[in-house]
Amino acid sequence: MLRDPLLHFLLIGLALFLLYGLVSPGEADSRRIVITQSQVDDMVRQYQSTWTHSPTPAEIRGLIDTYIHDEIVYREGLSMGLDKDDAVIKRRIRQKYELIAEEEDHSAPTDADLDAFLKAHPEEFLRPATVSFDQVYFDATTTSPEAVGTVRVALQKGANPATFGQPSMLPRHVTDGEIDLVGREFGDNFGKRVAIAPVDVWVGPLMSGIGVHLVRVSSRAPPVLPPLDQIRAAVEREWESDRRSRSSLDDYRRARTGYEIIIRAKMP
């Protein structure tokens, strides 16, 4: 019976366990809270950065009390296993991990990097097309199409546009308006129409989101791709954003290769 290897094994295990209990400082440490000067300095620094003045001695004692309170309840909670399977904790750690992954590559882009990025994504950096125009507005529900037609003829013959149309909150004249802003102010379709209307001729009726318009475009500028030195900040921003999203994903992919993933559930 005493020769049973399993019993030997168990006895050795018990001995080790008892020995560990005798020499391990763990229990004592988990029941001891030491506040060092450097910790207090950090609390004070934190307080100062929030309040931009130093805490009073009473406030410092309060900070230390709060710290001790947190620490004790935190340790009690840990011993109850409250940190296990907690979605907030997992999510926090993921967030920290991803930020570290994103920050690992700190190299600044070279001019060549930026140039290449600009060439690859010109549409992101175009200065939008602009248009200048006059418009005369009519309320579609109270104005007859014939009347609008008559006004158009008069305008084409050189009549003063200020003497026609109905009052509106829409501007009668737009100078160098970006097409998408014109679209936001008058409605998308109107923006598109004005973008291609002939220059220096009264045209219409054009429908906007508000009503009916006669329009004369006076000038237009096409979209322009500015040289790198004029938009360096924007290109750098986009380049960095692009790199960041790629590096975080790369890191995850790398990490994932080290895991065996077994799904024992029905996949929807």
Partner 1 sequence: MDRKIRLAGSLAAAAALIEGALYLAQARIVRPAGTPTGLMAASLAQEGGYLPDPNRKYPERVLWGDEHVHTGWSVDAGLAGATLTPEDAVRFARGEMVKSNTGQDARLQRPLDWIAVTDHSDAMGTVGELTGGNPEMMADPTVKRWHDMMGQGVAQATAATLELVRAQATRRMPKVLMDEKWVASAWQKTVDIMEKYNEPGKFTAFISYEWTSNAFTGENLHRNVIFRGNADTTRSLTPLTTWATGDPAALWAWLANYEKTTGGKVLAIPHNGNLSNGRMFEERQYDGKPLTKEWVEARARWEPLYELYQFKGLGEAHPALSPTDEFAGGELWDTGNLAGITKQQGMLKTEYWREALKSGMRLQRKLGTNPFKYGAAAGTDTHTGLSASEENNFWGKLRSSEPSPDRWEHLFQKEQSYVRKDWTLAAAGQMGVWATANTREAIWDAMKRRETYATTGPRITLRFFGGYNFGAADANADRIVSTGYAKGVPMGGDLKAARTGQVPTFLIAAMKDPMGANLDRVQIIKGWVDNAGKTHEAIFNILWSDPATRKLVGGKLPAVGDTVDLATATYKNSIGATELVGSFKDPTFDPGQRAFYYVRVLEIPTPRWTAYDAVKYRVKMGPEVPMKHQERAASSPIWYNPA
Site for partner 1 in 172-231 (CB under 8 A): 172-173, 175, 184-188, 190, 193, 196-199, 203-212
In the numeric block, the tokens 């140039």 are attached to 115
Q: Per CB under 8 A, which of residues 105..124 are in contact with partner 1?
A: none
Nearer to partner 1, 24 or 39 (CB): 39
Number of Cβ within 10 Å of residue 187's Cβ equals 16
In angstroms, what is the minimal distance from the CB of 174 to partner 1?
9
Among 2, 6, 169, 267, binds partner 1 (CB under 8 A): 169
One residue of 8, 10, 42, 83 binding partner 1 per CB under 8 A: 42
Q: How many angstroms separate the most distant Cα atoms in the chain?
A: 121
- Smallest distance, partner 1 to C-beta of residue 79, A: 17
Give the footprint of partner 1 on residues 1-30 (CB under 8 A): none
Q: Specify the residue, 111 or 242, whose C-beta has the smaller distance to partner 1.
A: 242
Cβ 12 to partner 1 shortest distance, Å: 33
Closest CA to 174 of 151, 158, 195, 153: 195
Beta strands in the chain (DSSP E): 130-138, 173-178, 202-207, 212-221
Q: How many CA atoms lie within 13 A of 107 on its CB side?
A: 8
CB of 9 to partner 1, least distance (A): 35
Instruction: Name the token pair of 58.
Output: 């009473």
Q: Which stretch binds partner 1 (CB under 8 A): 1-9, 21-29, 37-45, 252-260?
A: 37-45
| Token pair 């999203």: residue | 245
To partner 1, the closest distance from the beta carbon of 101 in angstroms equals: 10
Residues numbered 127-156 forming contacts with partner 1, rule: CB under 8 A: 138-148, 150-151
| Window 63-102: contact mask with partner 1 (x via CB under 8 A) | ---xx--x---x------------xx--xx--xx--xx--
Q: Which of 6, 25, 28, 50 binds partner 1 (CB under 8 A)?
A: 50
Q: What pairs with residue 131 in β-bridges?
A: 177, 220
Answer whether 218's CB lies under 8 Å from 134's CB: yes
Q: Which of 7, 14, 30, 46 binds partner 1 (CB under 8 A)?
A: 46
CA proximity to 31, closest of 63, 67, 71: 71
Size of the site for partner 1 (CB under 8 A): 76
What does the alpha-carbon distance between residue 32 and residue 72 come to, in Å, rounded to a whole number?
9
End-to-end CA distance of the chain: 55
Q: 21 or 241, CB closer to partner 1?
A: 241
**Residues 229, 242: contact at Cβ < 8 Å?**
no
Of the candidate residues 57, 167, 258, 268, the single one contacting partner 1 (CB under 8 A): 167
If DSSP codes are grouped into helix, strand and coil, which group holds residue 173?
A: strand
DSSP state letter for 127: B
User: Two tokens at 4?
Assistant: 């049973």
Closest approach of partner 1 to the CB of residue 261, in Å: 19
